[in-house]
Structure 1
Amino acid sequence: MVHSVTEIRRPVRRRLKRIVQKSPDKEHARRALAILQLYALRGCVTAAAAAVCAARSSVQRWRSLYESYGEDGLVPQPKGRTDWKASAAVWSALRQLLAGTPRDHGYLRSRWSSELLAVVLHRQSGLHVHATTVRRWLQRLHYGWRRARPTLCIRDPRKLQRMQAIAAALADSTPGTEVFYEDEVDIHLNPKLGHGWMPRGQQTAVPTPGQNRKAYLAGALHAHTGRVITVAGERKDSLLFIHLLYQLKRTYRAARRIVLILDNYKVHDSVLTRRWLARNPKFQFVFQPAYHPWVNRIERLWKQLHDTVTRNHRYPTLPALMTAVRRFLRVCQPFPGAQPGLATAA
């Protein structure tokens, strides 16, 4: 006998009391309480069983587990049959399969199914398992059936140079220098569909006008203050972009230099834009790396705009929708920091 229920040290008693008070496992707490009762009653199994409302045989079994294994012996074991097939070697083989694709093993499928995983495991190790068992193993390995994200294999050779230029622009604290993130966004009369709360088994119907109409916004987000300046137009062209530059020039008259961090959209380097810049040398463009939209923080503003206003909207006309968009642009400042999702419609 390694441990005795009649001679339990004080730190052990404290840990057992903590298990009784805070353990989410009721069976574990009940066993710990039985051991504490045995200690208080000097090992009387009958009285301890009556105190915890358990059979004498159960208390005697818990006592034997504690005396043989200590506190670890009181932890309840999982109920049901032991999954003897779920060995570390099998799980390692399953992880290796999931790191590749079925095409690597000569199959037509582009992604793994639980049935195909079971077939390949049988072919590699001779292990017979059902697809349901494979899905249960995947859950235990913290794998889920989720949507993949696209990524481009194309790399911008100027990425390092452009990222350094963006970092230098953001770190520039010269008086009279204003730094902005700039981008354009489309506003569709046909609503963007998205998730929402609805009864299980039913989909909420969102009415659409049928023929889509569009409006366009060009916006600039101040990199330090979070102020947002936008202009709207019926076409996403150089004139819309130049209109935004003119608004920035009027708003920041005292600025000696206005730096814009922007993507490689063609209107940012068109003939009309270059002509306007030649007459306004205070503007400086810093282009972000190609295929790196997450570098531009104003993309977060557009996402918030869609989540708040345009997704699943029910505005019948484009002017009504644009009224809501303008309301959002007023209440979202400074961005981030404000809570436009809690704003009222008026």
Structure 2
Amino acid sequence: MNTLPFFTPQTLYRLKKIVQWNPNRPLARRANAILLWAQGKPKAEIARLLQAARSSVNRWIKWYLADDLDGLQADMPGKKVRFPPTFIGELLKLLISFRPQNFGYQRSRWSSELLSIVIREALNIVVHSSTIRRWLPKHGIVWRRAAPTLQIKDPDKETKLAAIKQALAACDAENPVFYEDEVDIHLNPKIGADWGLRGQQRKVVTPGQNKKHFLAGALHSSSGQVTYVGSTSKNTVLFIDLLRALRRRYRSAKTITLIVDNYIIHKSKIAEKWLKNNPKFKLLFLPVYSPWHNKIELLWHSLHETITRNHTCRSMDELMERVEHFMDTVSPFPGGGHGSKRV
């Protein structure tokens, strides 16, 4: 008869926890056999209690004597996992950095079905598209709207940004600096998401025949005060009207600096002539296709989110009344609480 090894209380506790909580039932069964053996039960009785062959009990005891609890570990039943989920996750991240067309497919965007096909071809394993869809968010891969961009670089970008930064640092009462831009107001509402009951899409009645109005605005870089003018045409006259409004409002200013984009009305001959006759005005042009450097874009976004998106106005006069009320009360921006103000 073989002599029983010494079982420490810690070992017995670990064996009991394996039996009670481990989801690997074959491992729990082997641990139960060792517990019964530690209690001094014969191997034949252990085999009968666990509905196992005596040779299996002998094999489990041999594994335990050789490697302690580690010896009881064995592969789970079923087919072995060839590639761990972490590897598949890294492969998915790599795939979405390319386009399906790089792999010879006609789609311009990935679908879970196409990802499943590519993984099957690359690794010779079958992963269902629904499984891929569950894995994607677990690995930080989400469905998002793409942002349009142009691969046009401004060679003078750093120089322009440095000049803007210098002007902003010197901004004071006598030398104010403004972010300037224009915005289009459409009678046909911009459509956006809104709260509603599940399965019931909110309906927005549109006038059908669209009309347009245009605003030119200037946002004070320090105080957040907004100056604006409107017109039915988006041309140099609108831009010069804004400059005149700034000249009236800031009479005591020695210089007025405007940070503007590269739209043609800011560079037209009429604008250049007017600026030459009004030397207190200075224009700093943003790098091409860099709207995120123009803070007034946030004001236009707030205007659309607060007023024009999903609006129900039937006439341009009614819509412009709301737009003008917003522009008159939005200062200082941001921080004026425009999203919760009453009419």
Matched, 1:121 2:119: yes
1:188 to 182, 186, 189: 186
Matched, 1:199 2:170: no
Residue 325 of structure 1 corresponds to 323
2:268 to 267, 270, 276: 270
1:128-277 alignment runs, 5 A limit = 128-173=126-171, 176-277=174-275
- In the TM superposition, residue 86 of structure 1 has moved relative to its aligned partner by 4.0
Conserved? CA contact 2:171–2:222, under 8 Å = no
1:184-240 Cα offsets, whole Å, 9 max, x none, are 111111111111011212221111111111111111000000000001111111111
Counterpart amino acid of residue 302 in structure 2: Q
Q: Which structure 2 segments of 5+ residues have no match?
A: 1-7, 14-20, 22-67, 70-77
Counterpart amino acid of residue 88 in structure 1: T
Q: In the superposition, relative to structure 1, how do residues 320 and 202 fare at CA in structure 2: closer, same or farther (>3 Å)?
A: same
1:109-143 Cα offsets, whole Å, 9 max, x none, are 21221112112111111111111111122122121
Q: In the superposition, relative to structure 1, how do residues 314 and 83 fare at CA in structure 2: closer, same or farther (>3 Å)?
A: farther
Task: Give the TM-score normalised by the residue count of structure 1.
Answer: 0.74
Conserved? CA contact 1:263–1:293, under 8 Å = yes
Once structures 1 and 2 are overlaid, which stretch shifts more, 277-286 or 168-177? Answer: 168-177
Conserved? CA contact 1:86–1:137, under 8 Å = no
1:8-157 alignment runs, 5 A limit = 84=81, 86-157=84-155
- Secondary structure of the residue aligned to 1:261 is strand
Residue 281 of structure 2 corresponds to 283
Counterpart amino acid of residue 334 in structure 2: P
Q: How many Å separate the matches in 2 of 1:253 and 1:326?
A: 24
Q: How many Å separate the matches in 2 of 1:83 and 1:321?
A: 66
Q: How many Å separate the matches in 2 of 1:157 and 1:312?
A: 40
Once the two structures are aligned, what percentage of the paired residues are identical? 46
| Aligned-pair Cα RMSD in Å | 2.3
Q: In the superposition, relative to structure 1, how do residues 185 and 82 fare at CA in structure 2: closer, same or farther (>3 Å)?
A: farther
Conserved? CA contact 2:256–2:280, under 8 Å = yes
Q: In the superposition, relative to structure 1, how do residues 108 and 252 fare at CA in structure 2: closer, same or farther (>3 Å)?
A: same
Q: Which structure 1 segments of 5+ residues have no match?
A: 7-26, 28-67, 70-80
Q: How many Å separate the matches in 1 of 2:327 and 2:154?
A: 33
Q: How many residue pairs were aligned?
A: 274
- In the TM superposition, residue 95 of structure 1 has moved relative to its aligned partner by 2.1
- Secondary structure of the residue aligned to 2:176 is strand
Q: How many Å separate the matches in 2 of 1:295 and 1:252?
A: 24
Once structures 1 and 2 are overlaid, which stretch shifts more, 179-188 or 97-106? Answer: 97-106
Q: How many Å separate the matches in 2 of 1:320 and 1:83?
A: 69
The structure whose Rg is larger is: 2
Conserved? CA contact 2:93–2:141, under 8 Å = no
Residue 49 of structure 1 corresponds to none
- In the TM superposition, residue 274 of structure 1 has moved relative to its aligned partner by 1.4
Conserved? CA contact 1:166–1:286, under 8 Å = yes
1:236-288 Cα offsets, whole Å, 9 max, x none, are 11111111100100111100000000001111111111121121100000000
- Secondary structure of the residue aligned to 2:230 is strand
Q: How many Å separate the matches in 2 of 1:200 and 1:328?
A: 32
Q: How many Å separate the matches in 2 of 1:125 and 1:317?
A: 61
- In the TM superposition, residue 302 of structure 1 has moved relative to its aligned partner by 0.4
Q: In the superposition, relative to structure 1, how do residues 2 and 320 fare at CA in structure 2: closer, same or farther (>3 Å)?
A: farther
Q: In the superposition, relative to structure 1, how do residues 87 and 210 fare at CA in structure 2: closer, same or farther (>3 Å)?
A: closer
Counterpart amino acid of residue 332 in structure 2: P
Q: How many Å separate the matches in 2 of 1:2 and 1:106?
A: 63
Q: In the superposition, relative to structure 1, how do residues 124 and 322 fare at CA in structure 2: closer, same or farther (>3 Å)?
A: same
Q: How many Å separate the matches in 1 of 2:243 and 2:191?
A: 32
1:35-60 Cα offsets, whole Å, 9 max, x none, are xxxxxxxxxxxxxxxxxxxxxxxxxx
Residue 293 of structure 1 corresponds to 291
Once structures 1 and 2 are overlaid, which stretch shifts more, 101-110 or 85-94? Answer: 85-94
- Secondary structure of the residue aligned to 1:115 is helix
- In the TM superposition, residue 90 of structure 1 has moved relative to its aligned partner by 2.5
Q: In the superposition, relative to structure 1, how do residues 174 and 208 fare at CA in structure 2: closer, same or farther (>3 Å)?
A: closer
